A and B are shown apart, each in its own frame.
Chain A
Amino acid sequence: MREIPKDPPPNGKRARTVVPKVALFGLILALLLAGANVLFQPVWYEWNNYHTHHGFYQQPPNTVEAVSVGASLTVNSLIPTQMYEEQGVCAYNLATEWQPMMASYYWVKEAYRKHPQSLKTVLLDVSQIRKAQSPALSLYHKALDNMELSPVKVEAAQELSKDVDELLTYLVPAFAYHDRWSTLDYSDFIKNQPVNSAFYRGYNVNYDQLLNVTDPDAVATPLITVSDTKAQAKLNADSLVYFERLVTFCRQNNLQLVCFSTPTSGSWSDGEHNAIQSLADRYGVAFLDFGISPLLQEIDFNPNLDTIDGSHMGYTGAVKLTSWIARYLREQCQLSDVRNNPAYAFMQEEVTDWHQKFDPLHAALTEKDPAKYLKDLASSGNYTLLITVMNEGSNKLTHAQRKTFWDMGLTGLATLGIRDCYAAIVDDGKVVEQDTKKDTSTAPPNDLTALVYPPYMAYDGISFDKDLASSPLVLKSVLRDGKGVTLTSGGANTGATSSCLIGSAENSPKSRGINVVVYDNDTHHVVNTACFDTYAAATREVADRTSPEELIAQGKPYSSLTPEQKSLYRYNMRALHTARTQQVIQGTHVPYVAQFLQDYAGNANVRVLLTVKDEAAQVLSAEDCQTLAEMGFTDLATLGYRESYCGVQDPDDTIIEQRTSASEVAALKEQDYSLQSAGLEAGNYATIRIAASGLGTNHATEQRGLQAVVYDPDSGDIIEKVVFEQVLRTPEEVVAATATRPATTTGTSQGVPGQVAGDATATDAAAQAAAAQAAEEVM
């Protein structure tokens, strides 16, 4: 065999220089790669994702008693700080945007890893279990990337990964995000500055209300009750696997698992409720369904006021839901009240931080005075105020307001002249940028000074010779977090415009006067926008959020309500009657028609028009008939099988009715309205026409039953349309009930509420002729 030369003897000197060099090279490389990791890791501020995870790791160990996991519905629903204030419960909301059930499971494990001695209860939002589609991969990253590198995270990453490369994308952020090199901006380089995230405790504050963006008439009403008890929706198979694992984990670690579903308008079904309920029953887990009665009513949910989009809770909805759940945690889950526990002193600090941050913002929502609005928000909460003046904003500014602006350093706003352009940026109380362009067409400076400047101001520093506007003022700057901002202000003669671009997103309300955009430096979101039309008035009008039902109960007519209140009233009445209809379907609510009429009787100064198509006597229960008779609806109370009927409840609660035999058409006609009713044998149709909305429009439908239209006689606004079609009596019962009444003859009667009519169907040839005449005209 050929001789193989041996390796040369090791050169000790070379090894001594090479090994440390290689080690140092590797160390520096590791540091560089670690730096790249930090740089490329995206920070998601949407739905408060960043503060949720960041804040969680700021919590002292073994302090959290309850955690909630789930998707954005929960992010916006539960306020742990409020739970602590109200019930002394130390909870943390670990929900994130579209959090996959798998991530929920691992976040519970992570929470238990950090708080094994204190964690007692897990609140699970079931929205991901019911979703047919599994979340996209990016959402797993969003949910898990901010989890600390721990055995829990490694386990989660291993489950998500097919190979080593994929595993590394979960454990080494740059593996997943190095492509962000082309989108890095200044904000990426400053994102790891110390931030107090603890006091958010995972809750995402949102003061929006659906009412502000959507017509309540277009908002669906909640499910209220389950009508089909057998329907079962198909649940997400992936989620079910992790649900089972979560149940097992909770059992093994003596954690109480509570499932819940947040209230929603229209996106919750019988099948979903039944399937989740059945799942919860199978595993012996509590299920709090706020999507249906009775919890829905217990928290007094109104999607228009309590949600931002019908499903995601706004602040008011979150407060309602949190209050109920906090009580449940204390009473049903036996969580302790830790408010006097010295180990939880940090919670009091968080509560203080919370109020410092959000109280001014909350107050600003209803603040009418622009000076006070700006001053309050500038002085607390770490907000940046982006101010632009559009068209004209100086006309009604008071000296007191100008002084406040001056004291704040907003000298340009304090000295704002007619039709001037003005833009400013105030960061946490400090005016960092402001600029003015004077309108060229306004009076000379001296006159202007005399007109708008209070005598206590010094004007020496202000020049009127330059910056005369011939085009809108554009102010470009960079926010503290690195986002670019471009403010545009155009006076009446320079474009009459306002713009507030943060990045490429427009935020300005774009209305005449002083436009303000409030940017939260901590959450990197616009948290409020406002416009003060200081051309027209020194203060703004703030929407009156008083309950419209309350106002109407106090005697205010519908026509005097604000447009917002009118919309809300319409929605509320629709929701009320939809709920009642569902109860009627389940046989739990009688009387039905009578209560509907009672809801409008004596209130609101509205008119109710009633007609029958085909057959309506069966939709009236015995209780209905009795109550209707007491209300003065004598013809309706004694309506016979397939008889025709028209009725009117006037704003002054006068009742006008006409009932005819089954073979005749009933009709009522006044200047404001025209009604016709034909039972099955009389022609089987119904018409309801209102002069204010044009007599050509028939508001009746093709549905069988008693048709009701409620409207405001002053404006012609239709408030509600309902068809009562649920059969509550058999024809035999109807016949038996009407056998004792006087013989039916066509005629019109007028009833008085509270007085039971005697012979309401007295023959009146003239009325009969009038009815026939009316029918002919309308036809």
Chain B
Amino acid sequence: MSFTDIAFFAFVGVTVLAYFITPKRFRWITLLVASLAFYWINSGWLLLILLGTCTVTFGCALWIEASNKRGKEELKALGKKASRADKKNLRAKTKKRSRRILTVGVVLVLGALLLLKYYDFFADNAAGLLKPFGIRPPHFAFLLPLGISFYTLQAIAYMTDVFRGKVTADRNFCKFTLFMSFFPQIVQGPIPRHGQLAKQLYEPHSFDYTRLCHGAQLALWGLFQKMVIADRLATPVSQVFENYTQYHGLMLFLAAAGYGLQVYTDFSGGMDIARGVAQMLGIELELNFKQPYFSISIEDFWRRWHITLGSWMKNYVFYPLSLSKAFAGLSRKSRRFLGDFVGKRLPPILAMFTVYFLVGFWHGADWKYIMYGVWNGIFLVAGILLPEQYAKWTDRLHIDRESFYWRTFQIVRTFVICTLGRLFSRGETLEAAWQMFGSIFTEWSNLTFLSESTRLTLGLTERDWILLFAAVMVLLWVDRKHEHGIRLREAIDRQRLPLRWVIYYGGILAVYIFGVWGPAYDAASFIYGQF
């Protein structure tokens, strides 16, 4: 049951109805039942793996909290007369104990992800090393539970937050299971923080007609992005990437740009559907995209793209790493040997590289995804190392860094860098990606893509191309309005009823007619739903 299936919307309708007719005290149970039913319908017995993760996480969090509490009580028992050293020792002991529990929890939860998603990747790579010893690791091709990449990070964040004392561990396993399995966000995020989502899920929400309408509108906009743009783009993009040797230069670049747009509208569309459905139930999910095509640098891009993943990486990988004792030691040593400039920046650079290595790896068990992460890491590191150089260059060239043209240049530059990075994430293999990369820079003269025959061989009709262009213009217009802080749904609310309805009917019919769905299309599944 994909987000674009009729069955999903029937399911949402029934859930919304059931939620608001359930007595308030039990509304969270309605959500839990709906979420487990949704997971069961989509994944069957793989639900047990999710429940296993919930059990481990729930138990570890309670254990960590108990450990922390015990530490506090012991500290209290020491009394005021205890020396600072004793207190420090006790705190360290408590932290160590809690960290061990956290480690157990993380290992178990992450282990499931690594086993199910990455085992074959490791086995393939190990096979080369083990070949001389005559050992060939077996292949398992495990079925991947729905949303495992998302709920694993969610579980780790929760346990860590409990460890850090930022949130209180849930006492009700069923409520915690609801937090982990809430159906709009289980498929492809956003990756929620317990403090942000759990309370909303557990508390009852009253029926609000306006909120319901807004939620439906957001979901409709998500469908438009996914079904009209992303799935339509999938055809030409696949044609080029799967037959990349037949295309050259600008064509490959355009295909990569098309893929970027496809991923954006696919993922952002999915997010809007999820957020819209949640909103209908009175729950606000975190924003995951904030007009990434208006980014002026790669750093800015990652602040706008898959925001909850970036936030997760920052809180649970980057800071712990860069602030760790090991990195502090490294910083000290490197300052001594490499000077202040490098020594000061080395820990964040290494942490940054680690983060983007993991981001790439999280996207898929393949070297091409790792390269995708590294590609982004390179530009982010450049952003750390070279800001002063940038400033000097622009000053020398008398460039007004606040001007429209410079900003446009920055947006285009970021777009080009991101687009080239897409070659790695979408290329059939890492080798194919490199080949395409080379071709883009060496075979620019081929402009056959402009001919009608070439356009038609990409699997879309002339009318499809025109529609696609118009839809992308609408998307950019909406993003631009959002960029300027205009809340479109509220703006629509202020219009007179006939105009409002024309907009609603237009949106519904656009998806109904122009959407890539039904037997005539082999609709692409959500790209991020595969992660």
List the interface of chain A (C-beta within 8 A of B).
4-8, 14, 18, 25, 28-29, 32-33, 36, 40, 137, 163-166, 168-169, 174-179, 181-183
Contacts and interface: CB of A to CB of B under 8 A. Distances in A.
B92 to A, nearest CB: 37
15 contacts: A5-B24, A5-B204, A7-B206, A7-B207, A28-B505, A33-B512, A36-B513, A137-B519, A169-B518, A177-B520, A178-B512, A179-B516, A179-B518, A179-B520, A182-B463
Contacts of B204: 4-5
A112 to B, nearest CB: 30
Contact of B6 (A40, A165, A177): A165
Nearest to B505: A32
A182 B464 contact: yes
Contacts of B25: 4
B404 interface: no
Nearest to A33: B512
A8 B206 contact: yes
Contact of B209 (A14, A165, A169, A181): A14
Nearest to A10: B207
B5 interface: yes
Contacts of B517: 178
Nearest to A8: B206
B20 to A, nearest CB: 9
A36 B461 contact: no
Contacts of A36: 509, 512-513
B515 interface: yes
Contacts of A4: 24-25, 204
Nearest to A14: B209
B449 interface: no
A175 B518 contact: yes
B6 A164 contact: yes
A32 B502 CA distance: 12
A18 B509 CA distance: 22
Contact of A176 (B464, B512, B513, B520): B520
B229 to A, nearest CB: 15
A259 B515 CA distance: 45
A29 B505 CA distance: 7
A178 B501 contact: no
Contacts of A6: 24
Nearest to B514: A181
A17 to B, nearest CB: 10
Interface string B200-241: 000010110100000000000000000000000000000000
Contacts of A33: 512
B317 to A, nearest CB: 36
A34 to B, nearest CB: 12
Interface of B: 5-7, 10, 24-25, 204, 206-207, 209, 461, 463-464, 467, 501, 504-505, 508-509, 512-521
Chain A interface main SS type: helix
B515 A178 contact: yes
A182 B232 CA distance: 13
A628 to B, nearest CB: 68
B505 A7 contact: no
B518 A18 contact: no
Contacts of A40: 513
A42 to B, nearest CB: 11
A8 B513 CA distance: 40
A168 B6 contact: yes
A166 B209 contact: no
A172 to B, nearest CB: 10
Q: Which 5 A-B pairs have the closest CB atoms?
A: A179-B520, A182-B463, A4-B24, A4-B25, A182-B461
Chain B interface main SS type: helix
A32 B509 contact: yes
B24 A7 contact: yes
Contact of B501 (A28, A137, A179): A28
A192 to B, nearest CB: 18
Nearest to B205: A7
Given A4-B24, A29-B505, A32-B508, 6 more contacts: A28-B501, A32-B505, A33-B512, A174-B512, A179-B516, A182-B463
B513 A181 contact: yes
A325 B275 CA distance: 66
B520 to A, nearest CB: 4
A25 B516 CA distance: 25
A4 B22 CA distance: 13
B520 A165 contact: no
Contacts of B521: 179
Nearest to B209: A18
A166 B505 CA distance: 24
Contacts of A29: 505, 508
A176 B6 CA distance: 13
A405 B515 CA distance: 53
A79 B461 CA distance: 41
A178 B516 CA distance: 9
B128 to A, nearest CB: 43
Contacts of A28: 501, 505
Nearest to A180: B520
A163 B513 CA distance: 21
A572 B6 CA distance: 61
B465 to A, nearest CB: 10
Nearest to A137: B519
Contacts of A8: 206
A14 B463 CA distance: 44
Contacts of B10: 164
A179 B521 CA distance: 8
Nearest to B517: A178
Contacts of A176: 518-520
Chain A CB count within 10 A is highest, among B461, B512, B516, B517, for B512
A165 B8 CA distance: 11
Contacts of B508: 29, 32
Contacts of A175: 518
A164 B6 CA distance: 8
Contacts of B24: 4-7
A169 B464 contact: no
A33 B464 CA distance: 21
Nearest to A24: B501
A25 B461 CA distance: 34
Nearest to B23: A4
B206 A25 contact: no
Contacts of B505: 28-29, 32
A164 B519 contact: no
B175 to A, nearest CB: 13
A165 B512 contact: no
B460 to A, nearest CB: 9
A93 to B, nearest CB: 29
Contacts of B516: 179
A179 B467 CA distance: 12
A167 to B, nearest CB: 10
Nearest to B5: A165
Nearest to A18: B209
Nearest to B203: A4
A33 B7 CA distance: 18
B306 to A, nearest CB: 30
Contact of A165 (B7, B463, B513): B7
B501 A25 contact: yes
A343 B123 CA distance: 81
Contacts of A168: 6
A183 B467 CA distance: 13
A137 B516 CA distance: 19
Nearest to A179: B520
Contacts of B5: 165
A183 B520 CA distance: 13
Contacts of A163: 7
Contacts of A7: 24, 206-207
Nearest to A166: B519
A36 B511 CA distance: 12
Nearest to B25: A4
Nearest to B500: A25
B202 to A, nearest CB: 10
A179 B464 CA distance: 10
Nearest to A39: B513
